[in-house]
Amino acid sequence: MKSFQDLMGWKKGMTEVVVTKRLAFGKKGIPEICGREEKYLVHILRKRYREISDVQIRESEKRN
């Protein structure tokens, strides 16, 4: 979550992580996620982080 917070700010970063988790696992609690599901969640979050980061880089390049 820290990396999302650094990238997007505290509130937007937390929201992005929670929304991504809910899309993947519904209302299943984080403590209930284990093993393979945990690896899948980390994969999804990394992919989403890269997407957001790429968009921000492209936007900053357009400004310059």
Instruction: Render pLDDT for 19-56 as a digit per residue (tens, 0 to 9).
Output: 999 999 998 888 898 999 999 999 999 999 999 999 99
For residue 4, is pLDDT > 90? Answer: no
Query: What single-letter amino acid sits at 23?
Result: L
Q: How many CB atoms lie within 10 A of CB 52?
A: 16
Count how many residues are written for the chain: 64
Q: Where are the domains of the chain?
A: 2-63
pLDDT at 3: 84
Section 7-15 average pLDDT: 88
